[in-house]
Structure 1
Amino acid sequence: MKIAILTGGGDAPGLNGIIEAAGKTLLRQGHQVYGILNGFEGIFNSRIIELNEGNLEGLHAKAGTLLGSSNRTGTQDREKEFLDKYKELDLNGLLVAGGDGTFAGLKAFREQIPIIGAPKTIDNDIPGTDISFGYDTACTVVAESADALRATADAHSRIMIVEVMGRTAGWIALGGGIASQSEVILLPERPFDFQALCKFLNDKKAKGRKGLIIVVAEGASEKNSKPEVAFEVEGSPQSERYGGIAELLARRIERETAWESRHVVLGHLQRSRPPTTTDRFLTIAMGVEMARMVAEGDWNRAVVYKDGRVRRDSIDVFMTGARLVPDDHRWVGMAQALGLYI
């Protein structure tokens, strides 16, 4: 059979691991394997490449995606064009690594296109899976950055505010913040009381703390306020791009507390690191399982990570809205037990 692999949405560490693991396994099964270039744009523009042992070898250790990706192009109001273009490629099925936006864009075609999906997002907010690949690597970047910034925070008796990705979900801030034991972790799901935050910071100053670290999710906001929108991308399924909360907090903390404050926006550094060992194991397991599903004809299904192992589930589990941090999540409880402000 002719099987194609597509990577959609924002890039995440581990995408290349999915491509290599699924591609190599499919080739060993005797299939022809292709890659769709630049997500949905590759289907609209009929841009594909053949995958072989030569261009697959060693991909697992690299960040990004060999195939390119895009979060600018959706299928809404272009469904007929998308389906016609897909049929022109004369494929027998599609393996897709994407986030909620990618799978929402494919929902209309589940009866016409054989699809197997894998959950991809550094934000860890895709439903149906306990963890998505790329998340562990993003948390590692956040934790290591916060650890490094603590030296300069202590040297200058400052607060360093680290802004991280995540859109409406605070998983990256929560994971990276706990791993670095940052004193303050601000999540979109838990709007903060600025006066209570200032009291916490001033109390730390009065107790002789040299420096502090705040990890704030880009979608976090004060109570009764909305997230800061940095800019919009016309035509994107998720047009609003959040950002700017760290700088606003830094200036306001300087005005209203005894602290100096500076901010750092990690941005795409969270996407661009080669995957951690955890993400490599996860993508190997998912890629191999996807190829096995092709061999069994188990289409319009998904691979997910549940209860400590990779399993199969309905692809519909990815289409139920963002998976947010519950108020009673055990990690929130751990942060509170450590005396962190969250």
Structure 2
Amino acid sequence: MWSRGRWCIPRSPRRSVCRRRIPRPSCEGKAMTERKTLAILVGGGPAPGINSVIGAAVIRARLEAVDVLGVRDGFEWIMQGDIDHVTPLDIGEVSRIHFRGGSYIGISRANPTKDPAHLDNAVLALLRLNVSQLITIGGDDTAYSAMKLEEKAAGRLQVVHVPKTIDNDLDLPPSVDTFGFQTARHYGVEIVKNLMVDAKTTSRWYLVITMGRGAGHLAVGIGKAAGATLTLIPEEFTGRRIRLKSVVDTLVGAIIKRLSYGRLDGVAVVAEGLALGIDPADLEGFEEVERDTHGNVRIAEVNIGEILKTAVQKRLKEFGLKATIAAKN
């Protein structure tokens, strides 16, 4: 019942509960909340699992009614102020991209931190696209770019970085691997297993160079699971400059030991990071090797497999021995 500006709800013959009538809120004169937009970009090099991360992020965001933009080719375009190289992403188009390799929105090593103008352009480009949240997928260089971008945005952008490294070189709990590591290890094991059969059939040695710029986890994972003859990683030389002679002598020792067992074959798994640790004086032309925009040596340009092959064969010749060796990068 209505009584003196209150609704009175009878509870019993003795008493009633009275509640004040609360007016409905009015939206007049108030702007509606601006719709959020999430941007996703990928930097660095390719790795298994990138599309899985993109798909999961898009699906979660769209379920929360957040618009999503895929920024093509990492920082390449937005650091030039170009906002045309973006594509809207929705659940329908990303729900199956985890079955594909590569990156659905491209990838690049473009570095916006080398020029303050590029960093400004990247921030302004994202703001022009109405982006309030950014997910970057990449390695340590992309993580650094993301950090500087957030600093430059001064609160206008929320940035989250997803570490992308099949090297598994992050300080995570022992049971947690970086995405892509197990996939790379699995395929690496299959390759080495096949090479071991080929090596025995043809009586030759294979030097298999695996990825791993600063860590040998992938090489060890492949070598252990496949049962390779020998695995060499940069961590074994911690605290000192790696000399090419030490690496060569280790390989030669393994070959001679196998020969003593009557075996002419073997497979050595070598982490590519050894190339960075070896004294430049030992690697002819090492200083002239191309570097990326972050200043890192493009290890693919250092043919460490062929360098080791030549050096090992030369060393064996000094002992009056000969072995057929093939390098597999």
Instruction: Name the TM-score class by shorter chain.
Output: 0.7 to 0.9
Structure 1 residue 248 corresponds to structure 2 residue 307: yes
Q: Distance in 2 between matches of 1:162 and 1:64?
A: 23
TM-score for the superposition, normalised by structure 1: 0.71
How far off is 1:125 after superposition?
2.3
How far off is 1:195 after superposition?
2.5
Aligned counterpart for 1:9 among listed residues 44, 68, 71:
44
Query: Which residue does the alignment assign to 2:97?
Result: 59
Structure 1 residue 120 corresponds to structure 2 residue 164: yes
Q: Distance in 2 between matches of 1:222 and 1:3?
A: 37
Query: Which residue does the alignment assign to 2:108?
Result: 70
Query: Which residue does the alignment assign to 2:145?
Result: 105
- 2:207–2:327: 8 Å Cα contact kept in structure 1? yes
Say how many residue pairs are matched. 264
Q: 1:268-279 residue pairs with structure 2 within 5 A?
A: none
How far off is 1:102 after superposition?
0.3
Q: Distance in 2 between matches of 1:174 and 1:238?
A: 27
**Structure of greater relative contact order (alpha carbons < 8 Å, 6+ residues apart):** 1
Counterpart amino acid of 1:250? Answer: K
Structure 1 residue 134 corresponds to structure 2 residue 180: yes
> Equivalent residue of 1:232, what SS?
coil
Structure 1 residue 81 corresponds to structure 2 residue 121: yes
Which 5+ residue runs of structure 2 have no aligned equivalent?
A: 1-35, 238-245
How far off is 1:221 after superposition?
4.9
Aligned counterpart for 1:194 among listed residues 232, 239, 248:
248
Q: Distance in 2 between matches of 1:76 and 1:82?
A: 12
Q: Distance in 2 between matches of 1:48 and 1:120?
A: 21
- Highest Rg: 1 or 2? 2
Which 5+ residue runs of structure 1 have no aligned equivalent?
A: 266-342
Query: Which residue does the alignment assign to 2:265?
Result: 211
Deviates more, 1:19-28 or 1:110-119: 110-119
Q: Distance in 2 between matches of 1:149 and 1:139?
A: 15
1:21-58 per-position Cα deviation (integer Å, ceiling 9, x unaligned): 11112111111111111111142222211001232121
Q: Distance in 1 between matches of 2:131 and 2:277?
A: 50
- Cα pair distance change 1:95/1:246, threshold 3 Å: same
Q: Distance in 2 between matches of 1:40 and 1:223?
A: 30
- 2:207–2:270: 8 Å Cα contact kept in structure 1? yes
Q: Distance in 1 between matches of 2:249 and 2:70?
A: 52
- 1:37–1:67: 8 Å Cα contact kept in structure 2? yes
Structure 1 residue 261 corresponds to structure 2 residue 315: no
Structure 1 residue 40 corresponds to structure 2 residue 104: no
- 1:76–1:105: 8 Å Cα contact kept in structure 2? no
> Equivalent residue of 1:49, what SS?
strand
> Equivalent residue of 2:236, what SS?
coil
